[in-house]
Structure 1
Amino acid sequence: MKKILVIGPSWVGDGVMAQPLYRRLLERNPGAEVHVFAPVWTMPLLARMPEVARAHLNPFGHGQLQLGERWRVARELATEKFDQAIILPGSIKSALIPFMAGIPKRTGFTGEMRYGLVNDMRALDEKALPKMIERFCALAEAPAVAPELPIAHPRLAFNSETGQASAMRLGLDLSRPVVVMCPGAEYGPAKRWPARHFAALSRAFADAGWHVWLFGSAKDSEIGHAICEQAGGAATNLCGATGLEEAIDLMGFASLAVCNDSGLMHIAAALGIPLVALYGSSSPGFTPPLSDKAAIVTLSLDCSPCFERVCPLKHTNCLEKMQAERVWQAAQQLLERHPPVPDAS
């Protein structure tokens, strides 16, 4: 039986977009086991992916070399006797573990001059593979073979029983339609729609009879509080109140999601929730919401996408000028095609 170790991405959204790679590896290698080496915050995702036989904890933070600790972790992985490693990140550090573990075939893109560490080196043609999901899946193929398109979208399941238990714990009402809003973006402020716009949109949905739930990490609790304050109580701030696993199960009750280009946006897409995705400094051409129920709102200014964490022009007009009314209209058009399903209970 072939065993493959994937060095997984560090970002939640990228972790969602890697699922089709795991699926393709199993298609090309019937009976194989796919293991993933990934940071702790992506573990709830991997637990919901049937393609992943086992997840191994990547304990190293960004920028940490820790050669001695990497050697120890690599020697533990060596006992699994992997036949191949697929290295998704482009850094030298990400290629060290498979090399130290003695995995005979180590596949990845050129990256940071990783010659020797990566011995099945692939040149990346960015024009031929414009989307991240295509680049991931290309590493499952033979050299110079492009992945077959279209690539099936990622799919995550939610557990309604645990979701209901979480809703009860948090005092959430499931009797009305729910719109989930995700105001954070770990990458930086140039990807975050302003709080006042989220607040205006929250008021509009509350006036229309919807519950508005805000999701994000503890780092987003401040912006969540600002939205609730400016919305006059029209939204419930759940940022930092749940872990990722609990958030996934609660998001499963939503009839609509409005998200920045973030990990939670990709989770909403994988859950099959009708989704309005907001793009400022990033590009929907590179990391689009992988869903047939998504609407993209972007102003397509001359200065965007710049892919910067903070607006280099110090105005972030790509998001500041994206008014709530525009997002509301996109949401209504989406809901006409995918109306809320009444609660059967």
Structure 2
Amino acid sequence: MHILLVKTSSLGDVIHTLPALQDAYTHIPTLRCDWVVEEAFKEIPTWHPAVEQVIPSAMRRWRKNIKQTLHSGQWRYFKDSLQQRHYDCIIDAQGLLKSAFLSLQAVGTRAGLSWSSAREPLASLCYQRRYKVNFNQHAIMRLRQLFAAVLGYPLPTTAPDYGIATYFQPFKLAKAAPTIIFLHGTTWASKQYPESYWFTLAGLAIQAGFQVRLPYGNAREQNTAEKIQAGDTEHIHLIPQGSLTDMAKELLQADIVIGVDTGLAHLAAALGVPAITLYGATRPAWTGTMGLHQVQLQTAFACSPCLHKQCTYTGKTPVFPACYAKLAPQYIWEQVQTLLASMEVL
């Protein structure tokens, strides 16, 4: 069986699709998959053994200048890539109008979420086979349920398996010193943990004998990382910018990760790296990190989760975003110690 999978973005959403693909691969060992994904995330499908071809999409870029996209031949090349074969099944795992539109460009039977299940119900009109999936559950479970229904195997009851362990096994190296990675970067201002709290966490980690490593993806995140590093350049180091594969290799060297609700936190979970993930403006129930040794800390604040990109709280608060006042560094470090102790018992 050769299928086409359409799941274009975002980083966390693409990673959330891997367990469903692994379920399918386990039940159908001859399964081969081509994957349409945003060009920024094109590395991720290559990590899974069922994926034969990655077809990068650039919808975000193409929509900014449709005329240039058409005249340059980029759209024609993309369509030709999609139409090289007749697929046994085309699965739109995104449920959006843009992903449904992309699925229409390929040849094969299109399947996806029903009107009541898709994030954008109109997308369901583009599918020849529609499946109802309960929306009020974690995204990983929704996708596992969808794949099982589309491909006709029993819904697994096992814990999610991202299917990328074999790919990354050669990159697990012996560490010279205990290492902790802070995932401080995120696009929403409301999800950014206060800088002063990162400074305190770094001090606690160093006191406990850890080397602290900090990635960054843009100038703003680099500025934050450099401020944190300035407190102790001997024990705090920046992770150079690189590919997602490079970042995955870095995460594999960590004993533990502390991060905000960001795509790299989901990558850590997929790799099985122990992690504490912080949730203020968002909730972990639907899109939280999922995997072995993953701890989600949801703040207990009156307006959390607000699901707003900007914090709008106007009351008195010692930090901003205000909801993180309920997730102080000392409390988080206690959770780190508890997690590490539980792993030693195992």
TM-score, scaled relative to structure 1? 0.84
Instruction: Give the structure 2 partner of residue 167 of structure 1.
Output: none
By percentage of residues, which structure has more helix? 2
**Which residue does 2:97 correspond to in 1?**
92
Contact 1:26 1:32 survives alignment (8 Å):
yes
Contact 1:163 1:250 in 2 (8 A): no
Aligned 1:163-178 pairs, distance under 5 A: 174-178=175-179
SS in 2 for 1:282: coil
Q: Deviations over 1:16-40 (max 9, x none)?
A: 2111111122345441211211123
Contact 2:6 2:93 in 1 (8 A): yes
Q: Does 1:121 align with 2:120?
A: no
Between 27-36 and 196-205, the greater mean CA deviation after superposition: 27-36
Match of 2:140 among 124, 129, 133: 133
Q: What is the Cα deviation at residue 107 of structure 1?
A: 2.4
Could you tell me which of 314, 318, 321 is aligned with 2:323?
Answer: 318
Is residue 113–residue 133 contact of structure 2 (8 Å, CA) maintained in 1? no
8 A Cα contact 2:182 2:214, kept in partner:
yes
Contact 2:22–2:163 (CA<8 Å) still a contact in 1? no
- For the residues of structure 2 that align with 1:61 and 1:145, how far apart are their CA atoms? 35
Deviation for aligned residue 1:301:
1.9
Is the deviation greater in 309-318 or in 143-152?
143-152
Amino acid aligned to 2:126 = L
Aligned to 1:80: 85
Q: Which of 150, 156, 164 lines up with 1:148 in the alignment?
A: 156
Contact between 1:86 and 1:108, CA under 8 Å: does it hold in 2?
no
1:226 is displaced (CA, Å) by 2.4
Q: Mean alpha-carbon deviation: is it higher for 149-158 or for 253-262? A: 149-158
| Contact 2:104-2:126 at 8 Å conserved across structures | yes
Equivalent residue number for residue 336 of structure 2: 331
Please state whether the residue corresponding to 2:225 is helix, strand or coil.
helix
Secondary structure at 1:103's aligned position in 2?
Answer: strand
Match of 1:168 in 2: none
Shift of 1:163: 7.5
Matches within 5 A, 1:191-340: 191-219=191-219, 220-230=221-231, 234-238=235-239, 241-313=241-313, 316-339=321-344
Alpha-carbon distance between aligned partners in 2 of 1:115 and 1:18, rounded to the nearest angstrom: 19
Q: Which residue in the other structure is 1:57 paired with?
A: 56
> Is the contact between residue 260 and residue 278 of structure 1 (CA under 8 Å) also seen in structure 2?
yes
- RMSD of equivalent CA atoms: 2.9
Identity %: 18
How many residues get paired? 328
1:63 CA displacement:
8.2
* Contact kept in structure 1, 2:2 and 2:88, CA below 8 Å: yes
Given that residues 84 and 107 in structure 1 are in contact (C-alpha distance below 8 angstroms), is that contact kept between their aligned partners in structure 2? no
Distance in 1 of aligned mates of 2:130 and 2:169: 43
- Residues 19 and 234 of structure 1, relative CA distance in 2, 3 Å threshold: same
Q: CA offsets per residue over residues 88-129 of structure 1, 9 Å max, x none?
A: 2232121112212232233234324125422222344323xx
Question: Does the 8 Å CA contact 1:160/1:252 hold for their aligned counterparts?
Answer: no
SS of alignment partner, residue 226 of structure 1: helix
Unaligned regions of 5+ residues in structure 2, if any? 315-319
SS at match of 2:290: coil
SS at match of 1:61: helix
> CA contact under 8 A between 1:74 and 1:98: conserved in structure 2?
no
Instruction: Give yes or no for contact 1:153–1:290 (8 Å, CA) kept in 2.
Output: no
Which one is further off, 31-40 or 56-65? 56-65
SS at structure 2 position matched to 1:53: strand
Give the Å deviation of 1:50. 1.7
| CA distance in structure 1 between the aligned counterparts of 2:95 and 2:232, rounded to whole angstroms | 42
Q: Which amino acid aligns with 2:301?
A: L
How far off its partner does 1:280 sit? 1.0
CA distance in 2, matches of 1:209, 1:311: 35
How far 1:161 moved relative to its partner? Answer: 6.8
The separation in 1 between residues aligned to 2:85 and 2:271, in whole angstroms, is: 32
Q: Contact 1:70 / 1:97 at 8 angstroms: preserved in 2?
A: no
Structure 1 runs not aligned, ≥5 long? 165-172
